[in-house]
Structure 1
């Protein structure tokens, strides 16, 4: 009987000790804090059981669909098409197979058509009356640019007379690549007082600089004037219209993109079938293949976040 009593007391004391240690561990875990400035009675490599409780995988993941991605790539395709059209026109002027006077008339017609389309978009959005002052400033600026280019054409023609043509080709290629890389492909959701992005300004400057150095290889002043005026239409004015067209229905966006791409390939085909094939491949890959690749690659997105990440500041307005 004494032996049974001793066993009972031992079991009771051991269970009491276990419960006390469990409560101690629970209390310890409750008081553990993930801070470095506070002295705690835990080892440095202590990992609490709740360490992975707030683990999240791809918290900001938004699955893409093919159609919106393709519509977003239309702006890039349109910009590349304008570059290819500009290069084709330059080669024709360099070979004296294209009348520069016709190019001046085409540039003027493009300006009138683009301005009419811009006013139509302003009218549909209810801002036609509010932009009367801006309309007068735009016409005045267009006349000043036209006269300034006409006066500077003789200077631009002899600007790079001491430079070899190989250097001009390499410099213009780098400038056009910089123009395509820094161009603003965003939509037109901008306020009245919105400012242009720095990259967009640098992109326009690179394109106009490329047009100036290429125009210096032409033979007469009229060709220089026509090419630089055409470059201003494509690289300075057309992006403004392209921003507005991105808010248009998807059928208009896709139709304008396919029209520009087809025209850039058709105008380059008589010059070189190989170059036209390269143009078509680049435009097709940008419009149709690149969105498909991005859609396929999103399955490998694996972003893990947890309590070990650095704190992200949140600014509340």
Structure 2
């Protein structure tokens, strides 16, 4: 049971390990591209290419969907970024229940966006936890886990890919141990629980009154979506790479000729920028086409929130 790119290596690993995948569940096709034609999810497309039956219910809360799931008589359900709530009837249907491939070191970053939240918070590491699912939000017992460092250059794309591969290895190991009766469960501790709220589109807006270190993390965390950006003259500019630099001044003020911008504390040097509808450019090439001299302002106040 999975939907986005993150889940594809998990499904591929299950197949390659010789497990019989009786059915794949994924979210329904969604409109995509310029023509807004319905497009199956990455997991749906991959499963179909391997000849595996795919089901795309809008919900698993109704009795018919739950009966159809139970009729599979599966030994175990493997869940990786599926995106739908699994009711208790679904969780309990497989002989060994449902195992979740979760992209964090539980109990830190339960919820929808653990990869991005870990980078935003400045965590030194992330990882994958294989969890026995229960009715709570990522509250089930931990079965296996592994970690990976988050470095000063780690962005969400790189961490996503690393954790996807890690999860594919861990779930195969978990199922092997489960079959042999050697998969021990460890309850999640009460201390250290945090929640990774779903990303909002406007979260990527850079608020220059905040510390530069936080904005630099935002640039890495919001790659590729929703992107880190600022507006100037009614035009949106996406910041694809940046680094913290020395400097001070009114927030949003350009401090030099290499596009260092003053923040609430310290400064942010913009390394790669993309104007709306144009190619991404390194700072020097960007400045040749869009001059921003020392003293220029790129600050537009963020809208007030309640």
TM-score range, shorter chain: under 0.3
Higher helix share: 1
TM-score by length of 1: 0.19
Higher strand share: 2
TM-score by length of 2: 0.20
